[in-house]
Amino acid sequence: MRHDTWPTHEALRSLTVEMGTNMATNQSECFARIFHQIALAAPPEWAVRCAWISAAINGQLPIPLDRKRLNQPVSHAEAFLLGFTGTRMSLKALVLLACVLDHIEHALGADHMAILPIRWEKHGALQRTRTLSMAKAGEADTWHR
């Protein structure tokens, strides 16, 4: 995906459906809050899309978030755990989500305040990968003894 284009409406709709059905509720809530807060800080052409993604995710939650909760900043710990715990989404949806988040980060700048939860989520995912690879390496060492 180029940095000057967005995925189609249909692709985003299928992404938000997967986020609402295949993610844990706390993960979906975090992403709804992240996209809502990006929408508040982003230029109009980004704000509309991010607000729509947030509303689509929020509409699928068992108990939709109210404005007060949507406006509550995502803590570093919440965002880190969002990446560290993993999810059961399809590979296509995970790649699309990563592309959308990278797209937003590129457009707003990595130092933008609204981007910080995305950076912590990525840090959590990287740490998860490291932990799993270390566990796998330890398992292989144990196997060959």
Res 4: pLDDT: 56
Does residue 143 carry a pLDDT above 50? no
| 2 assigned to some structural domain | no
| 4 assigned to some structural domain | no
| 42 assigned to some structural domain | yes
Please provide the average confidence, as pLDDT, over all residues in the chain: 86
Nearest alpha-carbon partner for 38 in 122, 117, 123, 125: 117
For the ranges 28-32, 93-97, 106-110, which has the lowest average pLDDT?
106-110
Q: What percent of the chain has pLDDT over 90?
A: 46
Give how many domains the chain has, as a whole number: 1
For the ranges 14-18, 84-88, 92-96, which has the lowest average pLDDT?
84-88
Q: Which tokens hold the place of 97? A: 């989500």
| 125 assigned to some structural domain | yes
Q: What is the pLDDT of residues 39-83, one digit of tens each?
A: 998 888 888 999 999 999 999 999 999 999 999 999 999 999 888
Give CA–CA dist 19/23, Å, rounded: 5
| 3 assigned to some structural domain | no
| 46 assigned to some structural domain | yes
Q: How many CB atoms lie within 10 A of CB 140?
A: 9
Does residue 2 carry a pLDDT above 60? no
Res 35: pLDDT: 95
Q: How many CA atoms lie within 13 A of 31 on its CB side?
A: 30
| 66 assigned to some structural domain | yes
| 1 assigned to some structural domain | no
Its domain, for residue 132, covers 9-143
More confident residue, 5 or 56: 56
Res 145: pLDDT: 43
